[in-house]
Amino acid sequence: MLLLVLLGYNGSSQLEVISVSLLATTMTKKALLPLIAAGLVFSSFAAVEVNQQQTATAQAAKKSQWKVFNSPDGSFKILMPGMPKSMSETKKTFMGEINLNIFLAKPEKQQVAYVVAYNDFPHSYGKLANPQVVLNNARDMALKTTKSRLISQKNVRSYNNQPGKEFEYVNSAGKITRNRMFFAQGRLYQAMVITTKKQEKYLGKSIRGYLNSFQVVLRR
C-alpha cells in the first residue's frame, strides 16, 4: 500500500517559515519563487512510504500492465503500470497561487511507486525564470526535504529539446528515488520512481523504460 500525504499549509505554515527565512538572506522575490515551488512539491513526497512486502520479485514486475498514460490536459505522456491515481492542490503563497498536480501508480506485490508531478508558477514568472536555476533549486529542495544523500546527477534534454535534470538519491531509511525533471513553458515536470535498494535490482529495466518514456508535450 502506498501512502501519500499532502502536507497542508495554513496559519503560521511551513511555507511562511521558509519564505521568512529566505527573505532574511536578502533574496529577491524572483529568486525565492523556485525554492518555494520546489518546497511544495517535495513536501508532498516527504511522507511517501512504500509498503515493505517480502514477496516482491522480478516476476511481479513482468506482470505489470504497462500502458501509455496521457495527462488530462495533454501536457505530457508516459508509460505507467496501470491507471495512476491523480490528485491536485492549489497553494496560496505571498507571490501568488501555485498549482500542484500529482499522478501515482503502485504495482501490486512490488515495493515501488511511480510518480509524475507538475506545478505551474504564478503569473508570468515561469516564462522569465532561468531553467537551470529552477532545476537546481528543485534538486536541492528534494535532498533537503527528504533528508537524502545525492548519488548521481546529469543534465538531460527532452525529445523536444526542453532543459532537464536527472538525479538519484537515497534517504536514511534506504529508500531510493530516481527523478527526471524538465522545465518547459513555465512549468516544472517531474517523473519519479521511489523504491528500495533490494527491489531496485529487479526493476532496472522497468525504471529505465518508465523514465525514458516521459515526454513533455508543448502547449500552443
Question: Which residue has better confidence, 137 or 28?
Answer: 137
pLDDT tens digits along 45-62: 554 444 444 444 455 545
Which 8-state DSSP code applies to residue 73?
T
Single out the residue of 78, 96, 84 nearest to residue 36, CA to CA: 96
Instruction: Count the residues in the chain.
Output: 220
pLDDT at residue 201 in the model: 86
Other CB atoms within 10 A of residue 161 CB = 9
**Residues of the chain with pLDDT > 70: what percent?**
67
Domains of the chain (ranges; CATH) run: 2-216 (3.40.1000.10)
pTM score? 0.75
Q: Which three cell numbers stand for residue 115?
A: 510518480
Q: Which residue has the cell 526493476?
A: 203
The mean per-residue pLDDT over the stretch 173-197 comes to: 92
Name the least confident of 5-9, 83-87, 88-92, 98-102. 5-9
Alpha-carbon dihedral sign for residues 185, 136, 161, 104: negative
Kindly tell me if the per-residue pLDDT of 140 is higher than 70: yes
pLDDT tens digits along 145-184: 888 999 999 999 999 999 999 999 999 888 999 999 999 9
Question: Which residue has better confidence, 111 or 28?
Answer: 111
Alpha-carbon 173 to chain mean position:
19
Q: For residue 90, what are the β-bridge partners?
A: 99
Q: Which residue has the cell 512510504?
A: 49
pLDDT tens digits along 15-28: 332 222 232 222 34
Q: Which residues have CB under 8 Å from 97's CB, separation 6+?
A: 90, 91, 122
Single out the residue of 52, 1, 58, 3 nearest to residue 204, CA to CA: 58
Phi/psi for 90 (5° steps) reads: -115, 125
Where residue 9 falls among pLDDT bands split at 50, 70, 90?
very low
Kindly tell me if the per-residue pLDDT of 35 is higher than 70: no
Where residue 41 falls among pLDDT bands split at 50, 70, 90?
low
pLDDT at residue 207 in the model: 93
CB 190 within 8 A of CB 177: no
The mean per-residue pLDDT over the stretch 6-34 comes to: 33
The identity of residue 153, as a single letter, is Q
